[in-house]
């Protein structure tokens, strides 16, 4: 029983071909394409409003140099939100529950922010490793601690996204299993449990959107330190 709960996180394979590539490529087909008309339909208007608001929230703390990342960060956020939301549908696979995929997003983008900081302002970038006013005996220890915390950042990004989505999916499956088991024996308790399951599903929809936003927001904060 416990093994079956984790089967949903295994990458599906058909004829020896991992289908995770299709799960990653599919969301790009679902986005409505803006037209050249002055007045668009409600879906495209809502999409443009959401993209504009999200971009403003992400780019406001950044300098003009960091605004070059607007397209990349906004596209990544929308992509992660779409994958997370599609993963809540029945009989679907959520690629972002795979730590390898999340680390594949986190490590290159984090490394790019570090390289930009080292290239454009190396003194300030290295100054983050040693807070101002540090006593001389603590300098070696603090440099080691700050360096470790710097390299832990991409790991924290990937693990946070993976853990939150994995925990939510497991909890939904556990409660759904409890509903089916309790329905023949205690219908009233099963109905109450189903109500809890419905509320949990709404919460997971919010978590799917929030975690994608937090992932990109932290990347923008790392970028802010280095631009």
Q: Where are the domains of the chain?
A: 7-226
Element (H, E) at 93: none
What pLDDT does residue 1 have?
46
Cβ atoms of residues 226 and 125 within 8 Å: yes
Count, residues in the chain: 227
CA 41 to chain centre: 29
Percent of the chain with pLDDT over 90: 16
Alpha helix (H) residue ranges in the chain: 2-5, 20-25, 27-30, 42-59, 70-86, 99-120, 122-127, 139-185, 187-225
- Per-residue pLDDT reduced to its tens digit, 9-67: 677 777 777 777 777 777 777 777 766 777 677 777 887 888 888 888 888 888 887 88
Angle in degrees, 0-180, between the axes of helices 99-120 and 139-185, rounded to the nearest 10: 150
pTM: 0.82
- Cβ neighbors of 155 (< 8 A, separation 6 or more) are 103, 106
Mean pLDDT, residues 113-139 taken together: 80
**Is 76 a residue whose pLDDT tops 50?**
yes
Residue 107 tokens, joined: 């490590």
State whether the Cα torsion 199-202-208-210 is positive or negative: negative
């Amino acid at each position: 029983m416990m093994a079956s709960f984790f089967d949903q996180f295994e990458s599906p394979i058909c004829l020896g071909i991992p289908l995770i590539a299709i799960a990653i490529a599919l969301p790009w087909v679902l986005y409505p394409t803006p037209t050249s008309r002055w007045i668009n339909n409600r879906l495209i208007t809502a999409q443009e409003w959401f993209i504009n608001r999200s971009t403003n929230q992400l780019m406001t703390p950044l300098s003009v140099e960091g605004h070059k990342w607007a397209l990349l960060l906004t596209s990544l956020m929308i992509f992660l939100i779409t994958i997370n939301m599609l993963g809540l549908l029945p009989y679907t696979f959520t690629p972002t529950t795979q730590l390898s995929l999340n680390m594949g997003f986190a490590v290159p983008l984090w490394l790019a922010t570090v390289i930009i900081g080292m290239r454009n302002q190396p003194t300030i970038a290295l100054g983050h490793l040693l807070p101002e006013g540090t006593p001389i005996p603590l300098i070696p220890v603090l440099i080691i601690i700050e360096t470790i915390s710097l390299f832990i950042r991409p790991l924290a990004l990937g693990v946070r996204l993976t853990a939150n989505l994995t925990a939510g999916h497991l909890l939904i499956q556990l409660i759904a299993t409890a509903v089916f088991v309790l329905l023949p024996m205690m219908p009233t308790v099963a109905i109450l449990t189903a109500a809890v399951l419905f509320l949990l599903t709404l919460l997971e929809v919010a978590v799917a959107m929030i975690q994608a936003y937090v992932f990109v927001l932290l990347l923008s904060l790392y970028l802010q330190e280095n631009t």
